[in-house]
Amino acid sequence: MADKMQEEKQKKKAPKRAVKKKEHIVLSKSKRKTSVARASAKSGTGKIRVNGTDINIIEPAEIRGMMLNSIKVSQLGNDISKRTDITVSVYGGGYSSQAQAVGAAIARCIADLDESGSVRKELMDYDRSLIVDDSRRVEPKKFLGPKARARFQTSYR
């Protein structure tokens, strides 16, 4: 009799729901001069968006080339980028430094998605600045001069 009751309880239970797997999201950040780029990558169809616009629309072509430079370095990196969606937000600085910061952020995302570490090694061999941030910053102005290192011209007559 106890067996029948247990069977009835099991039948009355709600059907199991399909559990949605959590997406694997990779976040990275890169700096160049005063530009800061933050990128997030998740599995998708290979779309890359910079500040909400598709990267293929960005003009001039040289700036777009700076941003996509990290993808073209290795074949494995290109394959990884084709199966992930990368979203980048960038602010500060000028056109060129923003483009370099975006390229470095994309390179870091791709390097983090590669488990073997070969993409990171290839990027470091190609251009170290794609993985390592530029640590140079503007030096503060000192007294007795117009800028940080320059001094006012002396006149004796």
Quick one: average pLDDT of 85-113?
93
CATH topology of domain 26-130: Ribosomal Protein S5; domain 2 (3.30.230)
The Cβ-side half-sphere exposure at 151, using a 13 Å CA radius, reads 4
Give the residue from 99, 102, 91, 86 showing the smallest Cα distance to 60.
99
pLDDT score recorded for residue 16: 58
Of 37, 112, 42, 43, nearest to 77 (Cα)?
112
Letter string b/e over residues 72-100, b meaning 16 or more CB atoms within 10 A of that residue's CB = ebbeebbebbeebebbbebeebeeebbbb
> If you average pLDDT over residues 147-157, what whole number do you get?
92
Residue type, 1: M
pTM of structure: 0.76
What are the extents of the domains in the chain? 26-130
Three-state DSSP string of 72-132: HCCHHHHHHHHCEEEEEEEECCCHHHHHHHHHHHHHHHHHHHCCCCHHHHHHHHHCHHHCC
The answer to whether 95 touches 102, Cβ cutoff 8 Å, is: no
d(CA 53, CA 97): 18
Give percent above pLDDT 70 in the chain: 86
Q: In what order do the strands lie in the sheet with 35-43?
A: 26-32, 35-43, 84-91, 48-50, 53-54
Query: What is the per-residue pLDDT across 122-146, written as a single tens digit (0 to 9) for each?
Result: 999 998 988 988 788 889 999 989 9
φ/ψ of residue 69, rounded to 5: -60, -40
